[in-house]
Structure 1
Amino acid sequence: MKLLMVEDNKSVSEMMVMFFKKEKWDTHFAYDGEEAVEMFKSAADEWDIVTLDLNLPKMDGMQVAAELRRVSPTVPIIMLTARDSESDQVLGLEMGADDYVTKPFSPITLIARIKALYRRSELNTIGGDQVGSDDSQFDVITDHFKLNSKTREVYLNDQLIEDLTPKEFDLLKTLAQKPRQVFSREQLLQLVWDYEYYGDERTVDAHIKKLRQKIEKVGPQVVQTVWGVGYKFDDSGAAK
């Protein structure tokens, strides 16, 4: 795995070096926002995951996240945030981060988060045949929706929903596997984030917001809010 850690505190980076070496990851460090963007753009297709501090010199983490997302809509991003900055956490997720870890953090916790996100995003690199009309290629099929877990491709009315991040894909798959079943935010955190999650339930709302924006580019909205409860998938009204 090739990892880019964007962190202006060199003592934090130095602390993480031995943990990364133990995992045998190919790790690179950037110490300000501009350097991070330049490093990422120089090998955009090669990075497997990015950890991104919010408080950076020259260009802050939000700006960096926006730049990275313009270059790669799908590279997994973990934001590192202060404990008392819930608004920053939610904003970071809305800017395209897949997850966040609060500072100060345990190196073991960060490693676990990286592994959990990478396990899911790794499927993005699994090749598959060109999607055609053969429905056997899809493992989730409803009236107007098809999802292929191997190629990580999702279609609504035969239109590809593009640029889904790993978490957005997993969230949509979880909902679509059980059409019209209502999932609470807590259930979605447990099912999608793949570990004991201590974050605010607004994490789910932030991802749903971005997911809906991408769905609406190709067709009617299929992720619906059940007020006071949570969310459900329903494509019964999604005919062309």
Structure 2
Amino acid sequence: MPGATIALVDDDRNILTSVAVALQAEGFVTRVYTDGDVALKALIDNPPDLAVCDIKMPKLDGLELLRRLRAVSALPVILLTSKDQESDEAEGLATGADDYIAKPFSQALLIARIRAILRRVEFSRSDADPEGTSAGGGEPIVRGRLSMDPQRHRVHWDGLEVALTVTEFMILEALASRPDVVKSRNQLLDVAYHDEVYVDDRTIDSHIKRIRRKFKAVAPSFDAIDTLYGAGYRFTDG
């Protein structure tokens, strides 16, 4: 994790400077962008380990940048915004963000979120699953029409690839590792966010909606993730 490269995208140079300095003090390498179009090209052509992107920017705003990025990349992204409505958070997560922080925010909180997502990336690529939720410790998972390769971070449904973010991958992996077993929102939070205490359990709902939408894009009849109201979610072999 030390030495990881973080891209910062914000048209406010004061925020860019203060956040970049704080991250560099923690051992991160930073790249800064004030233009969404320039940032998008850089994130695709020379991907960092994680991007922190403001929503409200001129020309290409953060949400549209993320939509275009998600068409070609599962790069972890944290969205920043001055908005604090629950619907705005849901929109950001539904667009494919791995996390969301409302301004004003503490730099300590941002750094904690960055570290948590980078840990998730490491866990998803490791041979051993520290939460004990992965079938076979990083071995491929095949459940009916679903196949998952944790080592390569690849997911297929009926042979068609489905691009998931790191967070989405870990949630689906937790469900698919134990088909027909109901997992509560809190259990899925523990898998996806580990020791973070800043995340609302309803965040899982937004990630599940996003996962379903991605699968339905390649298989309109996809219905392998059940919602059990008041209990949680379960995966059923397709």
What's the TM-score once normalised by structure 1's chain length?
A: 0.81
Identical counterparts, % of pairs:
35
Instruction: State the alpha-carbon separation in 1 of the partners of residues 42 and 145 from structure 2.
Output: 41
* Contact kept? 2:6, 2:30, Cα under 8 Å: yes
* Structure 1 counterpart of 2:131: none
Corresponding position of 1:228: 230
CA distance in 1 between counterparts of 2:144 and 2:117 reads 30
CA contact (8 A) 2:170 2:191 kept: no
Partner residue, 2:9: 6
Q: Does 2:23 match 1:27?
A: no
Instruction: Work out whether residues 125 and 138 of structure 2, in 8 Å CA contact, stay in contact via their aligned partners in 1.
Output: no
CA drift at 1:21: 1.5
Q: How many residues are matched?
A: 225
For residue 183 of structure 1, give the secondary structure of its aligned residue in structure 2.
Answer: coil
Residue 97 of structure 2 is aligned to residue 94 of structure 1: no
> Is the CA contact (8 Å cut-off) linking 1:153 and 1:160 kept in structure 2?
no
Extract unaligned runs of 5+ from structure 2: 127-135
Measured after TM superposition, the shift of residue 37 of structure 1 is 2.4
Hey, what does 2:129 align to over in structure 1? none
User: Could you say what the CA RMSD is over the residues aligned between the two structures, in angstroms?
Assistant: 2.7
Residue 122 of structure 1: how far off its partner (Å) = 4.4
Shift of 1:138: 3.0
Indicate the residue corresponding to 2:75 in structure 1: 75
Distance in 1 separating the partners of 2:118 and 2:84: 27
Residue 36 of structure 2 contacts residue 57 of structure 2 at CA under 8 Å; is this kept in 1?
A: yes
Q: Map of 1:113-152 to 2, 5 A cutoff?
A: 113-122=113-122, 138-152=139-153
Report the CA distance shift for 1:136/1:195 in structure 2 as closer, same or farther (over 3 A): closer
Q: What is the correspondence of 1:173-184 to structure 2 with a 5 Å cutoff?
A: 173-184=173-184
Distance in 1, matches of 2:184 and 2:227, equals 10
Residues 195-210 of structure 1 correspond to what in structure 2 (within 5 A)? 195-210=195-210
Alpha-carbon separation, structure 1, partners of 2:125 and 2:175: 23
